[in-house]
Structure 1
Amino acid sequence: MGALLLLNPAAGNIAMAAPAEASIELPEAPAWGHFVDSYKNNTSVNMDVYSNPAIGVLSGFLDLWKPGSSWDNGTKLNSEVLDYNIQYVADLAESRTEEEEIAAYYDDRRNQTYGAADGLGSLADVYREKSGTYTTITSIPDDATTVKYSDGNGANKGGNSDSELGKMVDLIGTLRGNYASTNPAKNYYSYMRPWRWLDESVIVPTLVPARSSTPATDGGFPSGHTNASYLASLALAYAVPERFQELLTRASEMGNSRIVAGMHSPLDVMGGRVMATALAAATLADPDNAELKKAAYDQAHDILLKETGTAEDRFSDYEKNKEEFTERLTYGFAPIASTTKPMVVPKGAEVLLETRQPYLSAEQRREVLATTGLPSGYPVLDDPEGWGRLNLFAAADGYGAFNDDVTVTMDAYKGGFHAADSWRNDISGTGKLTKEGTGTLTLLGSNTYSGGTELNAGTLEGGSATAFGSGDVLNNGGTLTENVTGKWIIGGSFTQAAEGTLELNVASSDDVLEARGEVHANGTLEVNFTDDYKPGKGTITLISHDGNERTGQFVDVEINGLPSSYKARVVYQSDKILLKVTSSSDSSSDSDSDSDDSDSDSNSDSGSDSSNDTDNNGTEGPQAPETGVNPFQSNAVSRDEVLKAVNDAIAATNGGDQSFSDIGDHWGGDFIAKAVKLGIITGYENDTFRPNASVTRAEFAAMIARAFALEPQPASADFNDTGSNWAAGYIGALADKEIINGYADGSFKPNKPVSRAEMVAIIARVLNLDALATGEPASFTDVSGDYWAANAIEQASSAGLVQGTTDSSYAPNRPTTRAEAVTLIIRALESDSSIKALIERL
């Protein structure tokens, strides 16, 4: 099962449900009594429907057929159904393949226990060897069409009680024991075999010698071979629940072989299955067999499952198994009665899932059987207790519906299915699922249950787009795992507490968690790149949600599976949570931001409609140092053009001042005055400057372009959202010089506030920070070494362009204020000694 992380339920859960366990009522006892209480009455002494439970459980056949006084004088009560039943055999005889005829011969002539072992897959031969189960029918003799061959002249080849797996042998023998015979029912119903209704031509040629010559004791309903095959398979499935569905499929295959052989009809086989299901449950529920069934399970796990087998596994295809088993439940019969009768679960039937779903209570296993049963109305299957409607293959895949709240507790230390299990059914209903315990439960169905999902411990994995239905999902303290190709949908709100972990396995850029309600983020986010998927540089959407429907952020982020040359970080926007992937050698994009998108819209170059932010640090900070180097990047800004622009601006001001009513003794007052005089920015019509208002990306682009003498250019074709923006020319100018770039979706988001980290990333493409960074950089407590803009922030600090707040942090994700923006730009200009000398003349 791999390593399992043992987690305890977290204290202080957001919510804790404690639903009462629902109750699946027992059906009333029929005339013959509950099968599990009366199964030992299946003897030749009890020969009517009132006293023999095996005859009674098949009494639905009396709606179709009235037994006569002899084997050949019964009466058809429903000719349509009975004619279809026999015609099915005739049609199959016309179309069966040589391979199917060979398989039918072996299933007829070999002991059913030997045949059932095929359901163990690769361990089939290991089981046979260690249990002493063998056959003498190893090939089909050339004269098999005229000579009857039996397995060891009728000797029991079902295994040795003294073998290494003797308890498994004894469990099969007990289920197939004294009370499992189909003869009383055959004799009571006196329904002929199909080849007697038709002729011997429907029999597989090699089995013609095996036909009985005494029709009075050779009834067709129910099939004895099918009964024995299911009993052997269900005994093995109890001991080896890891092969539960494979063994069931093998049993259904052996039953179907009886139709292929021409020896039985579909109704015969269906009756054999129903009878075996009831007999297996009764025997396993019998307290006298409690010690034996435990010993058989222990032998299987202590001995058999520790071996490595080499036999062919013909039942490794789950979808094929499911299709074939399901088709053989009803064999294409149309319902002949109401299809809406409520499902009833027989007394004691839950024992059939005892080892397959050991983490469920007995009552919960009854719920599983109730929500996975067949519809009512099919021929033979509507017995009073519900044995005929049980679908054990589907039941092994968990609940079919949450009709009430369901709490599942799985303890990994117990191993097996306690540690991990998968539910493949499409779960409906109005109930809620609560997962407790340290084990792992995986939901794989297209689920629609609406009561919500709560994870308190362990792991709950979603393996389909709608694994968690249509309700809210709450992770209080476990690991909620996504393992879906493409979109993964949470139908309601998603809330994760501090102790929770959200694990996203990303195999392509299409793997997105879509939350259709609110998102309340906390705890840990783990992103694993799987299936050799290596994303390129850019952004990947991890979680999408409605605009402004998120609160909180993940406290810890773990990213696994990226090449060492890449780095990534989480970016929060108003309607999604992104992963930004960059090369560790690249300068990070100015479009990276940890703040939400802003919907504010500026229609002039003079200000922003964003609300006021906090001041920087209340002080002016150090001035940029004088240097003897050209501080401008040669591919972006021309020093001569900047000098000329500054000269022209100084000449245009004529030494005049513009005062603002909201500047006063603001720490950035001197820088603001210089920026206004240089024409970098102006104030508002009411004589305010709004120094603490945030700056949009469009506004900052305009400031940079004006400050560094970049002429407006046509709107950049790189962006799909700037064509009609007031700053399109400035944005185009900076994009042309590769000073700015946009987002992976082709947008620039001009009205989004520019963060303090983005501000520095942009200026780093204008200035030669490598040459300017000569001082001691500040050590910011909130800028880690792997932060996308860490290098640019460190160099800008070393160059004296920026500083932090009073608590030694830099606040890289906070929107930049107007005062901070112009301060940085003036310091950048003054990093050139000639330009600084000019500005000092203002």
Structure 2
Amino acid sequence: MQTSFPYLPRALCVAITAGFVLAGCGGSDAPWVTPAAPTGLGRADSAAVADAVSVPPFVDNVASNQRGDARYATLATNAGVRVVAGFLDIWRPSSLVVDAGVTAAASGSFPAVVASLWSGTPGDSTDGTVLNAAVHTANIQYVVTATANRTPAQELAAHLDDRRNKAYSVSDGMGPLTSAWRTASQQTTSITGIAADATTVLYNDTGNDVGVGGSANTQNFGPVVDLVSNIGENGSTEPAKRFYKYARPWRWSSSVQVVPALVPAKSSTPKTDGGFVSGHTAEAMRRSLAMAYVVPERFQELLTRAGELGENRILAGMHSPMDVMGGRIQGQAVAAASLYAGMNSGTRVAVAAQARSTLMAAVGAADPAAFNTFAHAQSSSADRFADHATNKANYRRSLTYGFTQMADSTKAATVPKGAEVLLETRLPYLSADQRRVVLKTTALPSGYPVLDDAEGWGRLNLFDAADGYARLDGDVAVTMDTSLLGFNASDSWQNNIVGAGLLTKRGSGELTLTGSNTYSGGTVLEAGTLEGTSATAFGSGDVFQSGGVLRIRPVSQLALAARYTQTGGTLQLVLGSDNQIPLAVANDATLGGALTIRFATGYQPAVGTVLTVLRAGRVHGTFSSITVDGHTVTPVYPGNQVQLRIVS
């Protein structure tokens, strides 16, 4: 509903004391009609599941990921082979069957599997066919260059990630929580460095990998360990290896330098030792996603650690970039299948709550907010995953390894069935449908080698998805609840949001927008807190506040490209200097609720200072009350500005 009211002439403006307005003024004597809330596109976005007949969902067919069974020996019948079928644009194996070192009796209408003649040696008469020579050459050359230039530190890391159990390796992605996690899970490892005779003796980890599960765990952590252990049923990469029959990089080129301490780990049976896909990478992704599910406070850091382990497979000389890319795809699909189809939502969410409770007690965190703070408390010198921007860049690089798009780059993204479960604890305040849309809006462009599978697993960018929407191609309403704690109470979206949709914030929780946003459908704040920390946090549309707290904490100035209308709630501005104008509104600013001023650490204005806190095309109305931390002020509304004179 629109309302109109006459504005008081500026001559009637008077001082306020103790933070309350005694009288106010408008920018004009003429009546002004309060703008209505923006309506956006009038519809929500969606991310429908592909037709299950033409594109069989991985989560429904993961049990077909087998070898030695004639029923699941082909691309059409094996989900683990099919999910990485984008590789067939680069390489065609000598036979399109899971048959490298594998036989299987006929089963019904499925013919027997006869062992392939593939020898495992590139270039011989039994080898497959390179379909894209440029990409294949770049794939192997990447390994040649990486292994020729690796540092001693990288060599050690590659060795550790090769020999150690994967769950133990990636658990250091927990950062400040690593010690608490390893103690609670009772994880152990026997691989702590490179042994003196490692170049001649094969060492395997005799530790317990995930830890101690069930009732044997003495730290009230058994169900958590069990969940992590169970993420990966039917997750073997062997069926894909035996189907694609693509050699290890050191077999493709003698210039690939395998880490000397890993030479004993090189297989002497090449026909059963395919490189595509990387089993280490797939397992690292599964383990990391399982840990990220129960400790979402370290979601992106654990993903980055999984990407690092994949990179270490290349630095070890054991795998190529496309092997690693395939491992990521398969690993995240298997993790989703285990969570989505392998256990009910009540069980998995309860286990995540137990993990948080146990770890909170272990680190002395009084509440989930303190726990999240502790989880990010270390500097980059103590936690190599402490920097969000670095993590983002490293993870994005690991998705494509610098390959350029080789096919249509304009195909719309599709979201696999069940993939939304991977964000269930990281974005708990969104519905399953909304999480699917987040995955769609953050997906990679099409056209990259290996990544264009029919379901969309290859194009998922889970790191960016954890930072919320990247596009508003429909209207989005977000309801957060402080009583539910954790990310339900407070979260931050760090993507640069584009699109024509409307963002509406509801509920008691707090949402922070940090990106360089250009979405144009408008922003509506009904309840809770909505904070902007960048110059264009609220996009390019109208901002309408009927309740809640609109907090503006920019580095310098937050600019609204259209109108700001406040019919209720509190506008909270954080100032860092005398000359900072924290809010600039390009069009009309209509005021009607409260104003609160806070000062950044280290800054306090002197008595007599005049602070310009808002500038607009025109200012209409006045704030119903003004509170300034530690000061009494006199407000002045000179046409297109709101100024506060520090009285005391």
Aligned to 1:545: 616
Aligned to 1:53: 79
Paired residues of 1:542 and 1:579 also in contact (CA < 8 A) = yes
Q: Distance in 1 between matches of 2:555 and 2:132?
A: 50
Looking at secondary structure, tell me which structure has more strand per residue: 2
TM-score under structure 1 normalisation?
A: 0.65
Aligned to 2:29: none
Aligned to 2:25: none
Post-superposition offset of 1:165: 1.4
Q: Distance in 1 between matches of 2:263 and 2:478?
A: 53
Post-superposition offset of 1:289: 4.5
What amino acid maps onto 2:277 in structure 1?
P
Paired residues of 1:523 and 1:556 also in contact (CA < 8 A) = yes
Paired residues of 2:558 and 2:583 also in contact (CA < 8 A) = yes
Say whether 1:39 aligns with 2:62: yes
Aligned to 2:635: 570
> Secondary structure at the residue paired with 1:307?
helix
Q: Distance in 1 between matches of 2:299 and 2:453?
A: 25
Say whether 1:455 aligns with 2:525: yes
Post-superposition offset of 1:156: 4.3
Q: Distance in 2 between matches of 1:140 and 1:28?
A: 50
What amino acid maps onto 2:152 in structure 1?
E
Post-superposition offset of 1:287: 5.5
Q: 2:288 aligns with which of 208, 230, 233?
A: 233
Say whether 1:157 aligns with 2:209: yes
Residue 515 and residue 284 in structure 1: after superposition, are their counterparts in 2 closer, same or farther (change >3 A)? same
For structure 1, which segment, 513-522 or 119-128, has the greater mean C-alpha deviation from structure 2 after superposition? 119-128
Aligned to 2:427: 357
Say whether 1:62 aligns with 2:88: yes
Say whether 1:255 aligns with 2:310: yes
Q: Distance in 1 between matches of 2:134 and 2:256?
A: 23
Say whether 1:146 aligns with 2:215: no
Q: 1:174 aligns with which of 218, 222, 230?
A: 230
> Secondary structure at the residue paired with 2:241?
helix
Aligned to 2:604: 534
**CA-to-aligned-CA distance 1:755-802 (integer Å, 9 cap, x gap):** xxxxxxxxxxxxxxxxxxxxxxxxxxxxxxxxxxxxxxxxxxxxxxxx
Post-superposition offset of 1:555: 1.2
Paired residues of 1:66 and 1:75 also in contact (CA < 8 A) = yes
Q: Distance in 2 between matches of 1:188 and 1:435?
A: 49
**CA-to-aligned-CA distance 1:443-464 (integer Å, 9 cap, x gap):** 0000000110000000000111
Residue 201 and residue 401 in structure 1: after superposition, are their counterparts in 2 closer, same or farther (change >3 A)? closer
Q: Distance in 2 between matches of 1:430 and 1:32?
A: 30
Structure 1 residues 13-24: aligned runs within 5 Å:
15=37, 20-24=43-47
Aligned to 1:442: 512
Post-superposition offset of 1:15: 4.5
What amino acid maps onto 2:575 in structure 1?
V
Q: Distance in 2 between matches of 1:13 and 1:492?
A: 12
> Secondary structure at the residue paired with 1:107?
helix
For structure 1, which segment, 139-148 or 414-423, has the greater mean C-alpha deviation from structure 2 after superposition? 139-148
Q: Distance in 1 between matches of 2:37 and 2:349?
A: 38
Aligned to 2:271: 216
Aligned to 1:284: 339
Post-superposition offset of 1:485: 1.4
What amino acid maps onto 1:167 in structure 2?
P
Residue 337 and residue 466 in structure 1: after superposition, are their counterparts in 2 closer, same or farther (change >3 A)? same
Q: 2:167 aligns with which of 103, 113, 121?
A: 113
**CA-to-aligned-CA distance 1:314-364 (integer Å, 9 cap, x gap):** 211111111100111100001110100011111111111111111001111
Q: 1:382 aligns with which of 452, 455, 460?
A: 452
Aligned to 2:627: 558
Q: Distance in 1 between matches of 2:503 and 2:344?
A: 34
Structure 1: runs of 5 or more not aligned: 1-11, 585-842
Structure 2: runs of 5 or more not aligned: 1-33, 95-116, 122-126, 364-373
Post-superposition offset of 1:531: 2.1
TM-score under structure 2 normalisation?
A: 0.84
Q: Distance in 1 between matches of 2:285 and 2:136?
A: 24
Say whether 1:299 aligns with 2:354: yes
Residue 137 and residue 115 in structure 1: after superposition, are their counterparts in 2 closer, same or farther (change >3 A)? same
Paired residues of 2:574 and 2:582 also in contact (CA < 8 A) = no
> Secondary structure at the residue paired with 1:518?
strand
Q: Distance in 2 between matches of 1:176 and 1:200?
A: 35
What amino acid maps onto 1:63 in structure 2?
D
Q: Distance in 1 between matches of 2:436 and 2:55?
A: 22
Q: Distance in 1 between matches of 2:630 and 2:181?
A: 41
Paired residues of 2:156 and 2:193 also in contact (CA < 8 A) = no
> Secondary structure at the residue paired with 2:438?
helix
Structure 1 residues 269-418: aligned runs within 5 Å:
269-286=324-341, 288-308=343-363, 312-418=382-488
Aligned to 1:204: 259
Post-superposition offset of 1:30: 6.4
What amino acid maps onto 1:80 in structure 2?
A
Aligned to 1:724: none
Q: Distance in 2 between matches of 1:340 and 1:188?
A: 30
Q: 2:51 aligns with which of 28, 38, 45?
A: 28
Q: Distance in 2 between matches of 1:291 and 1:370?
A: 25
> Runs (4+) of structure 1 moved beyond 4 Å?
12-20, 309-312
Q: Distance in 2 between matches of 1:518 and 1:16?
A: 14
**CA-to-aligned-CA distance 1:159-200 (integer Å, 9 cap, x gap):** 1113121112111211123x0000000010010010111127
Q: Distance in 1 between matches of 2:630 and 2:36?
A: 32
Of the two structures, which has the highest relative contact order with CA contacts closer than 8 Å and spacing of 6 or more?
Answer: 2
Paired residues of 2:38 and 2:523 also in contact (CA < 8 A) = no
Post-superposition offset of 1:157: 2.8
What amino acid maps onto 2:310 in structure 1?
G
What amino acid maps onto 1:568 in structure 2?
V
Q: Distance in 1 between matches of 2:56 and 2:230?
A: 22
Q: Distance in 2 between matches of 1:176 and 1:287?
A: 10
Q: Distance in 2 between matches of 1:466 and 1:243?
A: 27
Paired residues of 1:30 and 1:384 also in contact (CA < 8 A) = no
Higher Rg of the two aligned structures: 1
Q: Distance in 2 between matches of 1:386 and 1:60?
A: 11
Structure 1 residues 689-728: aligned runs within 5 Å:
none
User: How many residues matched?
Assistant: 562
Question: Root-mean-square deviation (CA), in Å?
Answer: 1.9
Q: Distance in 2 between matches of 1:102 and 1:302?
A: 35
Residue 240 and residue 550 in structure 1: after superposition, are their counterparts in 2 closer, same or farther (change >3 A)? same
